[in-house]
Structure 1
Amino acid sequence: MRVLVTGATGYIGGRLVPRLVAAGHDVRVLVRRPERLRDVPWSADVEVVEGDLVDSAAVGRAVAGVDAVYYLVHGMAAGGDFEAVERTAARNVAEASAAAGVRRIVYLGGLHPDGAELSRHLRSRVEVGRLLLASGVPTIVLQAGVVIGSGSTSFEMIRHLTEVLPYMPAPRWVRSSIQPIAIRDVLHYLLAAVDVPSEVNRAFDIGGPDVYRYGQLMNGYAVEAGLRQRPIAALPVLTPWLAGQWVNLVTPIPRRLAVPIIESLQFDCVVHDRDIDAVIPPPAEGLLPYRRAVRLALARERAGEVETSWRDAGVPGAPSDPLPSDPDWAGHSVFVDERERRSPATPAALWAVIEGVGGQRGWYSFPLAWALRGWIDQMTGGVGLRRGRRHPDRLHEGDALDFWRVERLDRGRLLRLRAEMRVPGRAWLELRAEPDGSGERVGSRYLQRAVFFPRGLAGRLYWWAILPFHGIIFSGMANRITAEAEASSGTQTTGV
């Protein structure tokens, strides 16, 4: 079957695509930035179409000739009038699919109570489902709640809340009933949905076998992680907005993600019926219980086998355009800080240090300043430094790296990071390793460049305010990275 997957760079889509390929489907993906798939293991196995769901012409090109469409995008982290954007995207997919003769649409929506006053984000997801169901194309809407898997937003929030706080003063939603579902089981339903008979056109609730209060989810995690169970006190005074600030401070989840998740937890979100079983039977081994799903997620994280993560999604408000080439800087106000160091270390040794930067290793200079910048970013609703990195030694294009995003990776030579911290402008950091010398005395040359395009007066004042620290931070970073490369390769500096 020929299928189109939207949201292929997201947490669910990035896991579904290789499974669709393995199942023998001919897969096409619609993405806004194809370069983000350059380093993905399955990129050569799919057809990539560039475009945005709000562009009806791009959607028309993407659905042409396909049998089924997976709609796996939503604006949970988006700001502004995201409801109008989601409405436009859903209508475009619905109309284009009907015109192209698509035989099945599969949409992953949100589990929600009937008759309740839903949050804006849940309400929007419900509306997207209704628009797709009314398209004239047979549609299955799978409504899932908290998804448990290595790298999922829900799992990360549970994990960090439990690990950081020995005692948890919590909002009232810790008493809400939740029916979590393992990522493995979500993928089971998604894969099977394209083969459902055409007369099926409706929404189905999906959930795991367990129903817990949210506080019990946290203590269930504590048991599996070998931690002492945490006493929890529900406080009636914490509004979703205030709770979002609290979650933003103690977890790596940025406020724009935390608030919609918390808003969705204000109500009991449990499966109303098991009608899905008559259409898509559960996995042969049964649905995964919550604690076993946590156990598997922890094992995958410890083994460094996280396939996708919430970190993979771009951050709203962060620069989305790649760094213009130097000749294209004409007409821009641009500030640049450049550093160069020569080292007897081999280029391979230098590159290993460059690719391992960030996360637990830090940024090789003035750690207090980096920590303070990360804390300020979180306080203002940014991602902060808590995102870390997915693998301790290897990076891929599109990876999140603390409050940066890997924009370009020429392995062995160039690492370009795009800033996703809150900053009045657009910022990048480039780290390069080049051979230096010839014959048997080949060392390396380290090139470091910070580039900033200020936005208005605030951007210029920001750059000038931090300029005195550049000599410490950027110079120290260049010195420490080359010194680390020399130490790892057993060489000593003979002069620069």
Structure 2
Amino acid sequence: MPDPAGAPWSAPGTDPPSSAHLHVLVTGATGYIGGRLVPELLAAGHRVRCLVRDPGRLRDHPWRGRVESVRGDVTRPDTLAAAFEGIEAAYFLVHALGTGPSFEQRDREAAEAFGRAAAAAGVRRIVYLGGLVPAGVPASELSPHLRSRAEVGRILRASGVPTAELRAAVIIGSGSASFEMLRHLTERLPVMVTPSWVGTRIQPIAVRDVLRYLVAAVRLPPEVNRTFDVGGPDVLTYREMMLRYARVAGLPRRVIVPVPVLTPSLSSHWVGLVTPVPSGLARPLVESLRHEVVCGEHDIATHVPDPAVGLIGFDQAVRLALKRIREADVATRWSSASLPGAPSDPLPTDPEWAGGSLYQNEQELAVDASPAALWEVVEGIGGENGWYSFAPAWALRGRLDRLVGGVGLRRGRRDPARLRVGDSLDFWRVEEIEPGRLLRLRAEMRLPGPAWLELRVEPGPDGGAVYHQRALFHPHGLAGHAYWWAVAPFHRAVFGGMARNITARARQTAATGPTT
């Protein structure tokens, strides 16, 4: 997978001698970092065991068949001995989220149990990803979230097992809670009255660099038992991050007006209102922005040298996080039909609020016709056959598109019966076709964001078929959201009628015989 310099994506030493291959335990494999770390460890030749409370939660990961899984819970010490059997190195990537002393107590007890079990099993290395601690700030003044992260690191380092604690601030990558909060705030609000923490200086880091450090950390010398600050090459305020995100994403310049009256609690509710990131998750993130989080050292480079092209900067990290959407793979990302190829790509297992907003209209109907008859209708859509629903609305949309410089409906189709990838189809383009099963069209009309229309045929009971139809729209900025909700009232008539008429035509085709 290409990195910013065009070289293959790999962690350092991904082809080590066999003696360097380890049996590693990963906790938090169902989370953001853990789910992306496992395939990197496998690529490095390590054997991986995942400790999960419910092994069934791994089923949607593409690497699930290549790892061991063991049921257990870091908060239940009696489940850890079996998990550590034969393990040489272990990753601690779990944290409780919440407020009050209870979540800090859970974090503390989990770290203590994990450290004791690792020491008893003779584990040679623990690797822990914590939060970047502001320099010179007493523990009593840290946010509960950050204070707990630091305490977990101290407990693991005191466990008797050499521990590498990597401390990172904001991680830039699709699916990262910190990045998704930044993404949604910037895309949805062209003008923002913001809390004063938008002036806080932060040293963000690309998820690719985080994973590069994590993979390499299992091979640190046994005498290394310490913290490492890890960050990218840029130090920015949160305001600068929003402005630079807008520039990279092609959005108009944002107007940001900070005010001092929003407390962390109010800020988290504001974030929860404006973005789909849950306020319970937003609050610890916001509270951690009260103090500057800038690396105080770069000692990790002594053991894990920087790449020849340098660490990934903020703008490039954002481009990588947005790349899948810009390359039109967003439709398959949300349908879980494609697998991410790099750590900055979204995963099908990411939460619903990750990966940016995606609006969709879905229709599904059973058909008393064979899949072949239904597919004939699907493949014949557009051109002279039209779009099987509300023809005046389609014609009006085509005329409006031409008025604003778009292609309109005048292009028709290359062949009246057959389609191939790359064909123009009125104001759509054939992006993917699986004969007899799937047709995905990408809109080429003028829209404030990319859009797709996906038509799928599947076998049904008793020789019939099932028709699946999805219209997808990824809004670009506030204009994209406004556009979707402006046309949403017409979707039932347009897309619902389209599904009904396509299936009706398939029944007619089945009764009269194929036309080609």
Smaller-chain TM-score bracket? 0.5 to 0.7
Pair 1:436-2:468 in alignment: no
Amino acid at match of 1:161: L
Deviates more, 1:305-314 or 1:281-290: 305-314
Q: How many residues align?
A: 360
1:35 match: 56
Note closer, same or farther for the CA distance 1:129–1:309 as it changes in structure 2 (3 Å cut).
farther
Amino acid at match of 1:45: R
Note closer, same or farther for the CA distance 1:349–1:218 as it changes in structure 2 (3 Å cut).
farther
- Find 2:350's aligned residue among 288, 295, 312: 312
DSSP 3-state at the match of 1:312: coil
DSSP 3-state at the match of 1:437: helix
Note closer, same or farther for the CA distance 1:149–1:443 as it changes in structure 2 (3 Å cut).
closer
Q: Percent identity?
A: 51
**Contact (CA 8 Å) 2:125, 2:218: kept in 1 or not?**
yes
Pair 1:50-2:71 in alignment: yes
Report the Cα offset of residue 82 of structure 1: 1.3
Note closer, same or farther for the CA distance 1:493–1:236 as it changes in structure 2 (3 Å cut).
farther
- Find 1:115's aligned residue among 137, 140, 146: 137
Note closer, same or farther for the CA distance 1:214–1:76 as it changes in structure 2 (3 Å cut).
same
1: CA distance between counterparts of 2:498 and 2:508? 8
Report the Cα offset of residue 177 of structure 1: 0.3
1:359 match: none
2: CA distance between counterparts of 1:237 and 1:268? 19
Kindly provide the CA deviation profile for residues 3-35 of structure 1, in whole angstroms up to 9, marking residues without a partner as x: 000011111111110110011001111111111
2: CA distance between counterparts of 1:235 and 1:95? 47
* Structure 1 residues without counterparts, runs of 5 or longer: 316-338, 354-411, 413-432, 447-475
2: CA distance between counterparts of 1:188 and 1:14? 14
Pair 1:75-2:113 in alignment: no
- Find 2:193's aligned residue among 169, 175, 178: 169
Note closer, same or farther for the CA distance 1:256–1:342 as it changes in structure 2 (3 Å cut).
same
**Contact (CA 8 Å) 2:365, 2:503: kept in 1 or not?**
no
2:252 match: 228
2:87 match: 66
DSSP 3-state at the match of 2:295: coil
**Contact (CA 8 Å) 1:146, 1:180: kept in 2 or not?**
yes
DSSP 3-state at the match of 1:198: coil
Pair 1:487-2:508 in alignment: no
Deviates more, 1:293-302 or 1:168-177: 293-302
Taking structure 2 as the reference length, the TM-score comes to 0.64
2: CA distance between counterparts of 1:182 and 1:310? 20
Report the Cα offset of residue 311 of structure 1: 6.8
Note closer, same or farther for the CA distance 1:314–1:28 as it changes in structure 2 (3 Å cut).
farther
2:426 match: none
Report the Cα offset of residue 280 of structure 1: 2.1
* Structure 2 residues without counterparts, runs of 5 or longer: 1-21, 330-339, 354-363, 379-436, 438-457, 469-490, 510-516
Amino acid at match of 1:61: A
Report the Cα offset of residue 348 of structure 1: 12
1: CA distance between counterparts of 2:189 and 2:128? 36
**Contact (CA 8 Å) 1:343, 1:493: kept in 2 or not?**
no
- Find 2:170's aligned residue among 143, 146, 162: 146
- Find 2:41's aligned residue among 5, 10, 20: 20
1:3 match: 24
2: CA distance between counterparts of 1:257 and 1:267? 18
**After TM superposition, which residue ranges in structure 1, 4 or more long, deviate above 6 angstroms?**
339-342, 347-350, 480-483
2:111 match: 90
2: CA distance between counterparts of 1:445 and 1:212? 49
**Contact (CA 8 Å) 2:166, 2:230: kept in 1 or not?**
yes
1: CA distance between counterparts of 2:247 and 2:256? 15
Where in structure 2 are the equivalents of 1:394-413 lying within 5 Å?
none
